[in-house]
Amino acid sequence: ARLVDTAEVSATPLEDRLERLGRRLIWITLAIAGVTTVLGIAGGRGLLLMIETGLALAVAAIPEGLPIVATIALARGMWRMAARRALINRLAAVETLGATTLILTDKTGTLTENRMALRRIELADGSVAVMGEGLSTEGRLEIDGKPVEPVAGTPLRALLETAVLCSNATLRLDGARVVGALGDPMEVAFLLAGLRAGIDRSRLLTERPEEHETAFDRATRMMATYHRLPGSGFEVAVKGAPEAVLEACTRQLAKDGERP
């Protein structure tokens, strides 16, 4: 924001060209007026008369209608862009847009809100829809339009718990309403999906405290968090590129139990 506030307003290409043209016309006009005055005096005309003639010639040669013509041309371009639903606040912007060859822009806050949402979970035995909007924790899981509960020991529950545990994102809650989110948008989406399914990360961490984290690495393309289980032992929650995670797996959890 500070850089935007201190940004200098530069002239458009058309304004630069008009300024250069104006300078040239001034010098050319002064030269012609001077030559005319000198030749008139040399030809026997009166000094005062030739000075007046030179000044009149200089004033008459200045193209006073040039800015008006440029304004009319820009206004016509503005009108044509308005017909295509492009709103222009400054006439000079019409010419600038016409001369633009490369646009670098950040879509966040314009085309998107820098948010992600988990809408659907694909399991081996079916698809689960995640219902809910925005940062609201209100929602539910559905299969074919019918509510479903992520029962302990099922692939759905294991998947959601893994997504919630393997995360650095945090949510600020005011009752059942999220008033703020900090972290990667994808991880925020996982936490919201977990809350809509009745899985709270803080409660899970109380039962299975995090002992260590392996941050996402470009070489492994995975992230892992290590959690101490009640009693003894550890549980590792992993997320990452599908091909990298699948290559590291030796077994899968299905509806009827573990499989090779």
Q: Within a domain: residue 215? A: yes
pLDDT score recorded for residue 37: 83
Domain of 132: which CATH number? Answer: 3.40.1110.10
**Segments of the chain assigned E as strands:** 120-123, 126-131, 140-143, 146-148, 170-174, 177-182, 210-214, 222-228, 234-240, 252-254, 257-259
Last residue of a domain, one of 66, 99, 132: 99
Residues 79 and 124 in one domain: no
Q: Which structural domain, as residue segments, surrounds residue 19?
A: 9-99
Q: Within a domain: residue 29? A: yes
Residues 202 and 254 in one domain: yes
Q: Within a domain: residue 107? A: no
pLDDT tens-digit readout, 132-145: 887 888 889 998 88
Asked if 193 and 163 count as a contact pair (C-beta separation under 8 A), the reply is yes
The neighbouring-strand residues paired with 128 are: 121
Q: Within a domain: residue 152? A: yes
Residues 252 and 125 in one domain: yes
Q: Within a domain: residue 66? A: yes
Q: Within a domain: residue 25? A: yes
Last residue of a domain, one of 99, 132, 166: 99
Residues 67 and 130 in one domain: no
Decide: pTM greater than 0.85.
Answer: no
Residues 95 and 126 in one domain: no
- Given the residues 106, 144, 174, 256, select the one marked as catalytic: 106
> Is 106 noted as a catalytic residue in this protein?
yes
- Measured CA to CA, the distance from residue 162 to residue 147 in angstroms comes to 21
What's the total number of domains in the chain? Answer: 2
- Measured CA to CA, the distance from residue 164 to residue 154 in angstroms comes to 16
Residues 162 and 248 in one domain: yes
Q: Within a domain: residue 114? A: no
pLDDT in tens, the chain (260 residues): 455 555 566 666 777 777 788 788 878 888 888 888 888 888 887 888 888 887 787 777 777 777 787 778 778 877 887 787 777 777 667 777 777 788 887 776 666 677 888 899 988 878 999 998 878 888 899 988 888 888 888 899 999 999 999 999 988 888 777 888 888 889 999 999 999 999 999 899 999 999 999 999 889 999 999 999 988 889 999 999 999 999 999 988 887 778 88
Q: Within a domain: residue 112? A: no
Average pLDDT, whole number, for the chain?
A: 83
